[in-house]
Amino acid sequence: VPVLFLSARDEEIDRILGLEMGGDDYVTKPFSPRELVARVNVILRRARPMPVEEEADEREFAHGKLMLVPASHAASFDGKPLTLTAIEFAILKGFLARPLHVLGRDAVMANAYASNIHVSERTVDSHIRNVRAKLAAVGCLDAIATVHGVGFRLGRCGG
């Protein structure tokens, strides 16, 4: 959890103690609201986990008969090619990178969209529906399972 100290105590020893106790930043009064917002944004940017899509793209992903090759943006099921949009590809890659995990909507969307883009929470449902339809068209009927009240997980994928 990021910590920002906001204090009227402006002695050097107070700032040092605050940072040594685990604070990420220390701001003393008086302060500019714009500076405070900028410091909070920097702390949040540093604390944000890296989305799956920024991991090494050299790795190939396979699960059952489903195969993803990020370097060439290729996807296939049982040797049949899949035509996926960039967002759909990123979502599927996020599932394949963590095949045993249940991913909430926020995690699915973090894998697909840049952190500075805001999308509706329910947008993921449309993308999941499209990915399921494209996989079903090539014979994979159980690619993404819904875990009610939690999110989604990778299905068996013919494996």
Per-residue pLDDT averaged across 132-158, rounded? 88
The SS3 assignment for 91 reads helix
> What percent of the chain stands above pLDDT 90?
29
Note if the pTM is more than 0.95: no
pLDDT of residue 51: 58
Q: What's the token pair of residue 69?
A: 């090759």
Residue 130 has what DSSP assignment? Answer: H
Q: By CB neighbour count within 10 A (0-12 exposed, 13-18 middle, 19+ buried), where does 94 fall?
A: buried
Give percent above pLDDT 70 in the chain: 88
Query: What confidence category does residue 102 fall into, taking pLDDT thresholds of 50, 70 and 90?
Result: very high
Respond yes or no on whether the N-terminal peptide bond of residue 30 is cis (omega within 30° of 0): yes
**In this structure, which CATH number among 3.20.20.140, 3.30.70.600, 1.10.10.10, 3.40.50.360 belongs to the domain 53-154?**
1.10.10.10
Give the start-to-end residue ranges of the domains of the chain: 4-48, 53-154
- Map residue 83 onto helix, strand or coil: coil
- Distance between alpha carbon 105 and the CA centroid of its chain, in Å? 9
Superfamily name and number for 4-48: Response regulator (3.40.50.2300)
